Amino acid sequence: MRKNTEDILMASEILRKASSLLVLTGAGVSAESNIPTFRGDNGLWNKYNPEDLVSVDGFRRNPALVWEWHCSMRKLAMSSNPNAGHFAIAQLEREFFCDGNFLLITQNIDDLHRRAGSENIAEIHGNIFYERCTKCAFRRRSEVIYDDVPRCPQCGSILRPDVVFFGEPLPEMEIAKSFSFAQKTDCILVVGTSGVVYPAAQIPYIVIEHGGKVIEVNKEETPLTKYADVHISGESGTILPEIVKTIR
């Protein structure tokens, strides 16, 4: 039997027995929707400097540049579609885990999980289609591609994308929900993340601490791989639908 086939069978067996499931995704799950990942050979951080584009100081120095970058991400997300991996995750929630027993934590800001039909989602790094005021509580959904830095209609201050820059705390409700689910779930499925950005990277270890199972799907090995019960090497758009098919 091929190594991957064995691993897929093992993953399906774990999922069949699990009464709850936490899924943690990163940029790799959207790679087959043509949205580039951050790290690795073709990663965005090879071409661009995160200090300029996704940091508080970068935004203070040059909000126009940060907006230009985030508008290009908005455009890219709008012209992309969810892939088979996103749909398989939505199917896991819909068909195999009842209310309250499933949570999808995504580090992605591209909205593709929601468009694929996932419902219980914690977007811990924000969402590219939301923007908020840097001074007051104003926040809105927007698909506008701006030429200039947008201003708050309530107080006139600069608006910013509602995403989490380096050095900023994650949204309180989302992270509380995520950590509390991690503390009680039987199983976590970790897909397409390099596992180097905290606090997201810590989540699988919370599951491990209380004896929960870890399934990892990634094209490459990560710092988590040696702790995973099953590591399935490959593209999530191929592997996840195979896992779902095998659970039945």
Active site residues: 125
- Is 162 among the residues that bind ligand BJW (CB under 6 A)? no
Say which entry of Zn ion, ligand BJW, none residue 166 contacts (CB below 5 to 8 A, set by partner kind): ligand BJW
Of the candidate residues 194, 203, 224, 243, the single one contacting ligand BJW (CB under 6 A): 194
CB neighbours of 10 closer than 8 A, spacing ≥ 6? 229, 230
Within residues 90-109, the interface with Zn ion by CB under 5 A covers none
Q: How many residues bind Zn ion (CB under 5 A)?
A: 8
Contact 150, 131 (CB under 8 A): yes
Instruction: Convert residues 154-183 into a mask of x (bound to Zn ion by CB under 5 A) and - (unbound).
Output: xx-x--------------------------
- Nearest CB to ligand BJW, comparing residues 174 and 235: 235
Contact 160, 63 (CB under 8 A): yes
DSSP-derived pairing of the beta strands 159-163 and 102-106 = unpaired
- Nearest CB to Zn ion, comparing residues 66 and 207: 66
Of the candidate residues 8, 54, 88, 224, the single one contacting ligand BJW (CB under 6 A): 54
Q: How many residues bind ligand BJW (CB under 6 A)?
A: 35
Q: From residue 149, how far is each of 20, 121, 132 by CA, in Å?
A: 43, 29, 12
Burial pattern 149-179, b for ≥16 Cβ within 10 A else e, equals bbebeeeeeebbbbbbbeeeebbeebbebbe
Contact 210, 181 (CB under 8 A): no
Q: Which tokens belong to 189?
A: 């499925």
Of the candidate spans 5-13, 56-64, 140-148, 217-225, the one that interacts with ligand BJW by CB under 6 A turns out to be: 217-225
Which residue has tokens 């896992």? 243
Of the candidate spans 7-15, 92-100, 113-121, 146-154, the one that interacts with Zn ion by CB under 5 A turns out to be: 146-154
Say which entry of Zn ion, ligand BJW, none residue 133 contacts (CB below 5 to 8 A, set by partner kind): Zn ion
- Is 196 among the residues that bind Zn ion (CB under 5 A)? no
Of the candidate residues 44, 77, 92, 152, the single one contacting Zn ion (CB under 5 A): 152
CB neighbours of 198 closer than 8 A, spacing ≥ 6? none
